[in-house]
Amino acid sequence: MKINQQMDPKERDKQYNDYVKKVTPTHSLGLCMGKAFLIGGLICVLGQLILNFCETNGLDRETSGSWCSLILVALSVLFTGLNIYPKLAKFGGAGTLVPITGFANSVAASAIEFKKEGQVFGIGAKIFNIAGPVILFGIFSSWVLGLIYWIGGLLGLF
């Protein structure tokens, strides 16, 4: 679309807004939420199946949880390397951000993306590009909430 710079500014803005509205993709919030719920739920069901399998085979709850985490991280990294996880994320959106698999995916995706720049300046320097802010804000928010809890305990609120 060609917009004439000499035309009336209001008409030009209207044409531009019409153009933006035409080319901007629309999404159904309900459908996106449903897909996220489905994919996130399936990842959680897989985790529960792994946990139950480990417990059924004689492992205690804590060891089963460790194996479950390890297997989910390994599967997430494997699926990222095979380019399956990005396709799953495109379909399921936020549902793939289930903490442990989404975190593993973000680390693996950064490593894969920057491997061409070398082991040190590529993978080593940029592996936490996506995961770094998650770690930072996760630690910071837990510190703030811990401080609030501590102060609440001193005041007898908790």
- Helix/strand/coil (H, E, C) string of the chain? CCCCCCCCHHHHHHHHHHHHHHHCCCCCHHHHHHHHHHHHHHHHHHHHHHHHHHHHCCCCHHHHHHHHHHHHHHHHHHHHHCCCHHHHHHHHHHHHHCHHHHHHHHHHHHHHHHHHHCHHHHHHHHCCCCHHHHHHHHHHHHHHHHHHHHHHHHCCCC
Q: Which tens digit of pLDDT belongs to each residue from 93-137?
A: 989 988 789 888 888 888 888 888 888 887 777 777 877 887 888
pTM (predicted TM-score): 0.67
Q: Which tens digit of pLDDT belongs to each residue from 12-54?
A: 888 888 898 888 888 889 999 999 999 999 999 999 999 999 9
- Sequence spans of domains, the chain: 31-127, 130-158
